Amino acid sequence: MEKRDYYEILGIDRNADSKEIKQAYRKLALKLHPDKNPGDKEAEEQFKEASEAYGILSDNQKRQLYDNYGHAGLSGQRGFSGMDDIFSHFGDIFSDFFGGDIFGGGRHSRPPRPPRGDDLRINASITLKEAYTGTKKALELVHHQLCSLCEGSGSKPGTDPQSCGTCQGHGQVVQRTGFMTMVVPCPDCGGKGSVIVSPCKKCKGSGREPVTRKVSATVPAGVDTGMRLRLAGEGEKPKVGEPGDLYVFITVEDDDKLVRDHSDLYYELEIPFTEAITGKKATINLFDENIEFEIQKGTQPSDIITLKNMGMPVVGKNIRGDLHIDIKVLLPTDLSAEAEKAVNKLHKLLYSKDKK
């Protein structure tokens, strides 16, 4: 849908002064206010439209951009995301208009949500043994926060940024290509409208500085690659408001001996063919723990012995996967004459019809 002209929306002349603009908006807002038109979608849309028009035309800089380039001149500006946004924006104007409480304990006077710091992310690599037992991991977190010297302005304390000469402080410049006229962010100030003349020594004008912080993460038994742990309140700490959270992204390293499949573990065990034939008691070492089990008489190459509930723990549950012992039967390749005689004898015993 074609965007309507802001002057037309407010029903005012292009030369209207700020008082006339405010009066026009006040009239419309009184008529279209959602509390006066509950459930009326059309009124709500018109209210939003009028608020947007007022937001632009009541701001001299934005109004000038709009006068010169129309809606295209405001392409970088943010609109309102919803009603609450409008009320938090024009809250004081509403109380000015309506004497504070005309709509009954106004939603427009709701205090703004307290600011909250950014969430941060850190990667942590742990061994399969650590994933098996659970562990405490000391991590070093490097992140950026507002520069403590210039408090984020980027300017040397005591100095101020200057209005950008290229865009005269508008943050936007007009580019002409053939018949096309486009408004683009100013290349010299990056759209900020101001430039730092004396950069802060500590952050070199960026307004942010790196900080290193030690954090300790409790990694529960059973974690797997791709899981993440949330450390509440360990994210960015803003000057005012709640800190964000820190997310620890886990990678579990491969193990030399064990292969993991979700909560199951696979262990490859080589045994001589004689033991496969006769069977035996076997022991393997699983993460510094001796596990005993029985290799049955007549075990075949590639048989898998499954030990129930001896695998990986499952995070947050009191259960475990299974441990699978993958049996590899070794055959001798270099027999002594005596051993060969014995094998021949064994062969006759086992397979010849004329056993003797």
Q: Are strands 289-295 and 280-286 parallel, antiparallel or unpaired?
A: antiparallel
How far is Cα 228 from Cα 20, in angstroms, rounded to an integer? 56
CB-nearer residue toward Zn ion: 150 or 248:
150
Q: Return the amino acid letter for 34.
A: P
CB-nearer residue toward Zn ion: 111 or 210:
210
Are 110 and 177 a contacting pair, CB within 8 Å?
A: no
* Per-residue interface string for the shown chain with Zn ion, residues 163-192, x marking contact by CB under 5 A: -x-xx------------------x-xx---
Q: Quick check: 149 binds Zn ion (CB under 5 A)?
A: yes
How far is Cα 119 from Cα 330, in angstroms, rounded to an integer? 54
| Closest distance of CB 159 from Zn ion, Å | 11
How far is Cα 190 from Cα 173, in angstroms, rounded to an integer? 11
| Closest distance of CB 238 from Zn ion, Å | 16
Q: Quick check: 150 binds Zn ion (CB under 5 A)?
A: yes
CB-nearer residue toward Zn ion: 203 or 229:
203
| Closest distance of CB 190 from Zn ion, Å | 8
Task: From 133-141, 159-167, 292-300, 312-320, give the range in contact with Zn ion by CB under 5 A.
Answer: 159-167
| Closest distance of CB 215 from Zn ion, Å | 25
Question: Which one among 121, 202, 213, 257 touches Zn ion, defined by CB under 5 A?
Answer: 202
How far is Cα 275 from Cα 281, in angstroms, rounded to an integer? 10
How far is Cα 137 from Cα 111, in angstroms, rounded to an integer? 40
| Closest distance of CB 70 from Zn ion, Å | 21
Q: Quick check: 124 binds Zn ion (CB under 5 A)?
A: no
C-alpha dist (Å) from residue 142 to 123, 185, 214, 272? 11, 31, 9, 53
CB-nearer residue toward Zn ion: 186 or 246:
186
CB-nearer residue toward Zn ion: 154 or 311:
154
Are 277 and 297 a contacting pair, CB within 8 Å?
A: yes
Q: Quick check: 147 binds Zn ion (CB under 5 A)?
A: yes
CB-nearer residue toward Zn ion: 11 or 165:
165
Q: Quick check: 196 binds Zn ion (CB under 5 A)?
A: no
CB-neighbour burial class of residue 189 (10 A; exposed 0-12, middle 13-18, buried 19+)? buried
Q: Quick check: 295 binds Zn ion (CB under 5 A)?
A: no
Q: Quick check: 208 binds Zn ion (CB under 5 A)?
A: no
End-to-end CA distance of the chain: 101
Q: Quick check: 10 binds Zn ion (CB under 5 A)?
A: no
Looking from the CA of 33 toward its CB, the CA atoms found within 13 Å total 19
Non-local CB neighbours of 284 within 8 Å, separated by 6+ positions = 267, 269, 290, 291, 293, 325
Q: How many CB atoms lie within 10 A of CB 351?
A: 8
Task: From 4-12, 160-168, 246-254, 286-294, give the range in contact with Zn ion by CB under 5 A.
Answer: 160-168
Q: Quick check: 200 binds Zn ion (CB under 5 A)?
A: yes
| Closest distance of CB 249 from Zn ion, Å | 30
Q: Which residues bind Zn ion (CB under 5 A)?
A: 147, 149-150, 164, 166-167, 186, 188-189, 200, 202-203
